[in-house]
């Protein structure tokens, strides 16, 4: 068994979708000849925590946790927010959403000083610990998971010091992505140089969705395309215990995850409003369940909806509980961010939804990557964010199927199985061995 060092900021007890990819790699890599040793943080500022995921770390896995100098308490002080206030759901906004003066100052500081991101304070302790792990445990390869992009810089430094093979993993593009700050020319130039150095020096780049590769090669066309490898996110069937189908008293639509900024239920709400006004859907026969973390503007949408009595908002829960809510639904709601990258964005939850095998309503570009996945697996229907009538037609179709209890939903099980997490770990093991 060969040892691989995994550099990851998001690792249990961190919760949220980002942790699942690394955790599943750690669980399944040993089946393919690689023993993972994890380097992560001891005091991370996680948007969500899920202590239950600690039990998912395989027995005997070595996890080294080192200190990080987090800046978010300073950010809260500057913006007047209380200690512990979530940062992402209330700071990532649409272009037309106004920021306060304090938020603008804080964003300028973030864009100017924290390069490539606010986790750069982990670099000194992580590189030191990484070298100790490499020397102690006969490490034969390195894998990093970004964002945060600081993880890539840590792995790059270790690669430079040791010459070990390095696979740089990415769940999102780096510079100029919708979640990254808009930098002025000097910090932007520095950030782009860091990005290019990682793509150049890594032996392979693992992308969670194909748009990440397109983005990188679009910025740096001289990079060899064969260095980039698509390893999709997925689902773990072991996380979905079989449950007996139960007829719901109300047409239950569930959304799980975060919602803020460019990701909103506005189109879905507008479509549902149309159907209620037309008498196609009865407001007292529906149950809309939103599970996760929501920005202030989304909570305002919930409160102002004419069918607000049908809306249930549930704060962040463990991954296991989230899956149970999905399984106890008639239909699942997927919303892709409204952004220039929308066609290529593939949220990790797409595959979890597919794994649950319940019909999906997706608000996403009909000619985009999410739509392609849903068509190949036959797991849902898609409408563009701007197509309110199209969304209404999808809701009405599923609502009628629920009313009659005659579902026409027939997933393509062969295509669904391709997205098992084990298959992702298999592909990564092959990249590590190159």
**Over the stretch 299-310, which tens digit does the pLDDT of each residue have?**
999 999 999 999
Task: Identify whether residues 314 and 362 lie together within a single domain.
Answer: yes
Omega before 13 cis (within 30°)?
Answer: yes
In the structure encoding, which two tokens stand for residue 32, read together? 């393919």
Q: Same domain, yes or no, for 123 and 258?
A: no
Q: What integer is the mean pLDDT of 211-222?
A: 96
Q: Regarding predicted confidence, which is higher, 261 or 245?
A: 261
Classify residue 99: in a domain, yes or no: no
The answer to whether residue 109 is domain-embedded is: no
Residue 321 token pair? 């509980």
Instruction: Classify residue 403: in a domain, yes or no.
Output: yes
Does 174 fall in a domain?
Answer: yes
Residue 253 and residue 392 in one domain: yes
Q: What is the pLDDT of residue 90?
A: 46
- Note whether residue 407 is domain-resident: yes
Q: How many CA atoms lie within 13 A of 371 on its CB side?
A: 13
In a domain, 88, yes or no: no
Residue 374: phi and psi, rounded to 5, are -70, -35
Domain holding 259, by residue range, is: 237-416
Tell me: do 201 and 271 sit in the same domain.
Answer: no
State the pLDDT at residue 109.
Answer: 75
Do 156 and 193 lie in one domain? The reply is yes
Q: For residue 38, is pLDDT > 50?
A: yes
Which CATH number covers residue 372? 3.40.50.2000
- Would you say the C-alpha torsion 376, 265, 318, 172 has a positive or negative sign? positive
**One domain, residues 41 and 189:** yes
pLDDT at 247: 78
Q: Indicate if 319 and 218 belong to the same structural domain.
A: no
**247 and 168 fall within a common domain:** no
Q: Answer yes or no: do 338 and 254 share one domain.
A: yes
pLDDT (tens digit per residue) in 302-339: 999 999 999 999 998 999 999 999 999 999 999 998 87
| DSSP label at residue 367 | T
In the prediction, which pLDDT does 89 show? 43
pLDDT of 78 reads 57
Same domain, 183 and 243: no
What is the tally of structural domains in the chain?
Answer: 2
Work out the angle at residue 264's Cα, subtended by the Cα atoms of residues 347 and 286, and round it to the nearest 5 degrees. 100
pLDDT, one tens digit per residue, over 227-254 is: 999 999 999 988 887 765 677 899 999 9
Quick one: 356 and 241 in the same domain?
A: yes
Q: Is residue 85 part of a domain?
A: no
Is residue 120 in a domain?
Answer: yes
Question: Using one digit for the tens of pLDDT, what is the confidence trace for 51-104?
Answer: 999 999 999 999 999 999 877 666 656 556 665 555 544 444 455 556 676 666
Regarding whether 242 and 222 lie in a shared domain, the answer is: no
């Amino acid at each position: 068994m060969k040892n691989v060092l995994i550099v990851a900021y998001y690792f249990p007890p961190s919760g949220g979708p980002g942790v699942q990819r690394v955790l599943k790699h750690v669980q399944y890599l040993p089946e393919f000849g690689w023993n993972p040793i994890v380097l992560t943080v001891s005091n991370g500022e996680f948007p969500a925590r899920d202590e239950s995921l600690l039990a998912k770390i395989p027995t005997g896995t070595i996890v080294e946790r080192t200190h990080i100098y987090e800046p978010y308490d300073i950010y809260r002080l500057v913006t007047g927010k209380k200690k512990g206030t979530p940062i992402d759901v209330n700071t990532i906004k649409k272009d037309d959403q106004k920021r306060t003066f304090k938020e603008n100052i804080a964003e300028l500081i973030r864009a100017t000083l924290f390069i490539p991101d606010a986790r750069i304070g982990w670099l000194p302790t992580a590189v030191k610990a990484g070298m100790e792990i490499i020397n102690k445990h006969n490490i034969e390869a390195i894998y990093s998971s970004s964002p945060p992009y600081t993880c890539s810089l840590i792995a790059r430094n270790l690669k430079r010091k040791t010459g070990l093979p390095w696979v740089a993993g990415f769940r999102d593009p780096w510079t100029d992505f919708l979640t990254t700050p808009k930098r002025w020319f000097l910090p932007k130039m520095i950030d782009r140089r860091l990005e290019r150095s990682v793509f150049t020096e890594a032996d392979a780049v693992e992308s969670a969705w194909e748009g990440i590769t397109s983005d990188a090669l679009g910025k740096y066309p001289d990079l060899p395309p064969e260095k980039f490898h698509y390893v999709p996110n997925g689902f773990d069937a072991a996380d979905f215990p079989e449950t007996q189908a139960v007829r719901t008293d109300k047409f239950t639509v569930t959304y799980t995850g975060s919602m803020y900024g460019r990701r909103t239920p506005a189109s879905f709400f507008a479509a549902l409003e149309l159907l209620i006004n037309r008498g196609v859907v009865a407001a007292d026969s529906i149950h809309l369940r939103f599970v996760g973390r929501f920005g202030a503007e989304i909570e305002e949408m919930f409160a102002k909806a004419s069918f607000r009595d049908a809306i249930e908002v549930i704060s962040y829960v463990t991954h296991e509980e989230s899956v149970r809510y999905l399984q106890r639904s008639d239909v699942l709601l997927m919303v892709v961010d409204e952004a220039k990258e929308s066609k290529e964005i593939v949220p990790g939850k797409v595959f979890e939804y597919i794994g649950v095998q319940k019909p999906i309503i997706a608000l996403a570009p009909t000619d985009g990557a999410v739509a392609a996945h849903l068509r190949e697996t036959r797991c849902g229907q898609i409408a563009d964010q701007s197509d309110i009538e199209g969304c209404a037609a999808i809701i009405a179709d599923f609502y009628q199927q629920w009313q009659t209890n005659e579902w026409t939903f027939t997933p393509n099980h062969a295509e669904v199985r391709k997205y098992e997490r084990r298959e992702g770990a298999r592909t990564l093991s092959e990249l590590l061995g190159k």
